[in-house]
Each structure stands twice: as structure tokens, then as C-alpha cells.
Structure 1
């Protein structure tokens, strides 16, 4: 029973210490500039013709919105 009390007290102290470190600890990182060269041309063969694109689907025809005064609704009417 005494060992269980010691373990419980240690767990509580560890959790309190972890919470204190998270709250008061300095966890900011120092900003550093990093430059990495990037090679874009990896020597891949250039395709002879560009890939064929699928024809675009026709856009559906839409009706124009009715005029604001034609509905007879008040300006603040949300229904």
C-alpha cells in the first residue's frame, strides 16, 4: 500500500512538472535562413507532343436572377 502511494505521488509530481515546463518553459525556436538549391531539369526526355486535353464540358445554362424589386420582399426579409 505504501508503494502505491509513492507511485501515485510520483505520477502527480511528474504531471505537474510537465505542465509547468509546458507553461513556463522556453520552447521557441531561433529563426534560421535556409537555402537549398533545387534542380528542376532532371534530364527527363521532352515529350514530342503535348498531352491531349479532354474537351471541356459545356457549362449549364443558368437563368438570370430576378430583379430585387420584382419579388415584393422587404430588404430584411430572409425567408
Structure 2
């Protein structure tokens, strides 16, 4: 039972380190593009 608990703790730690590494090193910026659309105003 102790081996399973140690393996689970190790996997949790490795997962946390991988998540933090991806958050800092991963390219999570959205693609940006300019959008132009004509607008009709009803000004009397």
C-alpha cells in the first residue's frame, strides 16, 4: 500500500511541475487580426 501511495504522490508532483512548465513556456497568446466592418448610423 505504501508503494502505491508513493507512486501516486510522485505522479501528482510530476503533473504539477508539467502544468507549471506549460503555463510559463507554452504559447497561449490568441491569434490577432484586424476586423473592419462598415456601420450604418440612423442619425436624423
Pair in the same fold by TM > 0.5: yes
Aligned equivalent of 1:23: 24
- The alignment's C-alpha RMSD in Å is 2.0
Equivalent residue pairs, number: 40
Indicate the SS of the match to 2:4.
Answer: helix
Q: CA offsets, 1:2-39, max 9 Å, x none?
A: 0000000000000000000001111111102345777x
* Long gaps (5+) in structure 2: none
Change (3 A) 1:3 1:29: same
Confirm whether residue 13 of structure 1 aligns to residue 14 of structure 2: yes
Query: Any stretches of 5+ residues in structure 1 without a counterpart?
Result: 42-79
After TM superposition, the score normalised by the length of structure 2 is: 0.71
Flag the structure with higher helix content.
2
Query: Could you say which structure has the larger radius of gyration?
Result: 1
